[in-house]
Structure 1
């Protein structure tokens, strides 16, 4: 009977979350309740909780996690400084004359915003407010317009510098070290957030290219779904405007990612460069007023507190889960599966995909990955490959009706004339595209692992 306790813990947490209780307190409270009951029945050794203070202290002093508030600050600062508006206007002038051009513009702007902010929700809401009314006014099919915005908005999940990759990288590093210990290997080798940033570049670019290819196909098959913007003009002034709108975010992206790839800065140090650069951009645009700075700092503090509270609750949960022998149960379950590591990985991906309907990526990263990560890595999976597969999987689940988070974000800012069914139908082709990318990465892992092997050889 005791071997079912860890699985019961996981089920109870999901039920408590569905009931609407705060995530951090649901994780920690459920774990402590099971620990008390387990201690009373002799199924749990309370000595496991002695490690809790060291774990919490390690979280609060983790240098990798210091990148979270700095990347959030960078994203919120750019969101408030009208970078997206200038980008969209410049891209629309460049591509608007061709069928599907406005959709391509939205995709490219979404890619740049994702690489600048790393926050999915902010990108979806920003693009929904700025581009959806324009696309509808220009005669775009509501399904194609909403699907494009939702899909490009979630690029912040995979295109670095992504908050999701920062968190997955930290958890994956711990899981990799645990897997090595479980195998009796004592090695200083680990996986870093920088590894995941580099590994995500090629998949991210492939995804953007596939999105654009779909828009081109739709413009060819159904010209009425994405008409050209006939009055768009293209002259020296528009060239200058496009250059001025593109240069700041591109320079910021180059400063952040370039410093990491060149080995000049760690991801945490690069996040500080990004935050400072975003502040300079806001200052150059005359958007760095005292009230606006207060809004940025307040939003950053709220998001950071949420992330760290969830991480603390998840740490308590994973500690109690291991205390009940949950890691050994999961390992035995995976090893006894027919098909070995392939079946185990497939099951984990399906579970993460399903959980993405009801949980945010932060909860999934902090709860599921520490449980299954060490087991899968001990079975021989590459940690960089596994981390990117999880990130793209979560990105796909955020688009999937009826509970995809990106759909909720867009529904909240879309005009009433756009039906919810249009949003659901619009994202369907992009879900297929993301599943295709997952299949490609599973068949050819080098899509993920090749670039890190070249950069860090």
Structure 2
């Protein structure tokens, strides 16, 4: 057997072994590194793997840890956990329930709207599903909603944080797609490469994400119209009325934060990492407002933040200039005062969050989630290095090129593979295992990187809903065992999985849904 044939066999065995071992339930980080070490050793023994490649491992890991874009991950996680602990979701659910409750299926629509708002402000699937499972599910069941319909609605709404920006999956996917796109261009002999930013992916996922929310609500309205017994309306006198003040108090805080974070990214004012820092500070201030104490220090800090933005737009606030105009120096002095006011407000919010037990819990959760993501990234780096060293990229290219239908056939095959893997893996693992392998090949076939990334994100979202290892199913099952059983949850999500596949098919058929907004903004 030739050297290249041995390498191809080892590649296929390496990927197949990983897929089989995943079913054992061992943490993926250990499986990734273990497979890489075992098959790297076999490659060295058969003379098909160059040990010199391992010298690049430390540098690649260091590059991953120091990538500015990935710094946004712990910041977005912190923002989401802080908002979840500050009871934003509870206020939103109560307000939306009173607003839509008197409509058939109104509570289900409320859950979808709240899921979209929380997705754009927190992006934490587990926190959203658990919160809505504890609050919305009992209310829906008390009002006569079908168990399966209610469970499916809550699970699906909770996963919107994976496609509606800002989301951690888009940050990770953006970094992986950018590397794959660069690699594809270099393979084509283009040394002046184009890049893809996380901001472009955020813009690309906006319309498909909102379209998916529309699919959910349309389905809920149709079901409520055809089967009123599944989603009955609440009598208006029972639902109660909600005043404009109450509605604004529930809606304004998350919407302001969404505009501040997403608006700064899409408007080109800030990078995703800078916007994530703004979101983390804003979420901390909101959490401080929910704790006992006077509100004026935090309101003053918010006003100072707005003032800093206005000054930055009107004057040049760069420090260290030898001959700055008098107006700029006056503006710098004013900015210093505003920074002091902002700092004082943030310190007050942090102290209140600490005294209330919110800050320690949020910090611990942020550290745990971030460590899991980055540990998996490191394991995937070693796996990818060995896989490529054995000639895996050429093997994948040959396999995808042999699929009938050209680039579209290869794309559909990869989408099918990711959908099946979603039954056993979560989005982080699929993103950093599969995308680096198939991404350069698909992009080398001429596919648009933003379109491909949005399709992958939509596809990966189904991994939270597909049994047996759908994380949303576990989250809801963990808090709702007293009201529903596992069969209710599994059967309830089936229509929403089909709706997500419909969304994937729609974006495949109409690529402009993903590429139009980035083209306009960037």
- TM-score normalized with structure 2 length: 0.85
CA distance in 1, matches of 2:473, 2:281: 32
CA distance in 1, matches of 2:19, 2:398: 23
Q: Is the 8 A contact 1:356 1:398 kept in 2?
A: yes
Where does residue 357 of structure 1 map in the other structure? 423
Where does residue 62 of structure 1 map in the other structure? 67
Q: Is the 8 A contact 1:64 1:166 kept in 2?
A: yes
Where does residue 233 of structure 1 map in the other structure? 240
Where does residue 389 of structure 2 map in the other structure? 323
Q: Is the 8 A contact 1:259 1:265 kept in 2?
A: yes
Q: Is the 8 A contact 2:425 2:463 kept in 1?
A: no
5+ residue gaps, structure 2, are: 292-351
1:342 maps to 2:408: yes
Q: Secondary structure at the match of 1:418?
A: coil
Q: Is the 8 A contact 1:78 1:282 kept in 2?
A: yes
Aligned pairs for 1:16-415 within 5 A = 16-230=21-235, 231-235=238-242, 238-286=243-291, 288-290=353-355, 291-415=357-481
Q: Secondary structure at the match of 1:223?
A: coil
Q: More displaced, 335-344 or 309-318?
A: 335-344
CA-CA distance at 1:189 after TM superposition: 1.5
Q: For this pair of structures, how many residues does the alignment match?
A: 454
CA distance in 1, matches of 2:137, 2:254: 22
CA-CA distance at 1:198 after TM superposition: 0.4
CA-CA distance at 1:187 after TM superposition: 2.1
CA-CA distance at 1:165 after TM superposition: 0.6
CA distance in 2, matches of 1:415, 1:303: 25
CA distance in 1, matches of 2:499, 2:25: 32
Q: Secondary structure at the match of 1:415?
A: coil
CA-CA distance at 1:417 after TM superposition: 3.5
CA distance in 2, matches of 1:317, 1:396: 25
Q: Is the 8 A contact 1:357 1:405 kept in 2?
A: no
Q: More displaced, 287-296 or 359-368?
A: 287-296
CA distance in 1, matches of 2:73, 2:222: 38
CA-CA distance at 1:113 after TM superposition: 0.8
CA-CA distance at 1:414 after TM superposition: 1.1
CA-CA distance at 1:107 after TM superposition: 0.7
Deviation string, structure 1 residues 91-124 (Cα, Å, up to 9, x no partner): 1111111111111111100111111111222211
CA-CA distance at 1:24 after TM superposition: 1.3
Deviation string, structure 1 residues 393-415 (Cα, Å, up to 9, x no partner): 11123222343222122111113
Q: Secondary structure at the match of 1:224?
A: coil
CA-CA distance at 1:188 after TM superposition: 3.8
Q: Secondary structure at the match of 2:239?
A: coil
CA distance in 2, matches of 1:275, 1:151: 26
Deviation string, structure 1 residues 368-394 (Cα, Å, up to 9, x no partner): 000000000000001101111011111
Corresponding residue to 2:514 among 434, 448, 454 = 448
CA-CA distance at 1:331 after TM superposition: 0.9
Change (3 A) 1:32 1:402: closer
CA distance in 1, matches of 2:226, 2:32: 49
Corresponding residue to 2:500 among 425, 434, 452 = 434
CA distance in 1, matches of 2:431, 2:187: 21
CA distance in 2, matches of 1:212, 1:425: 19
Deviation string, structure 1 residues 301-360 (Cα, Å, up to 9, x no partner): 011111111000000000000000000111122122221111111111111111111111
- TM-score normalized with structure 1 length: 0.97
Q: Secondary structure at the match of 1:131?
A: helix
CA-CA distance at 1:18 after TM superposition: 1.9
Where does residue 301 of structure 2 map in the other structure? none
CA-CA distance at 1:247 after TM superposition: 0.3
Change (3 A) 1:417 1:85: closer
CA distance in 2, matches of 1:225, 1:268: 44
CA-CA distance at 1:139 after TM superposition: 1.0
Deviation string, structure 1 residues 145-192 (Cα, Å, up to 9, x no partner): 001001111101100001111100010000000000111111241111
RMSD: 1.2
Q: Is the 8 A contact 2:185 2:193 kept in 1?
A: no
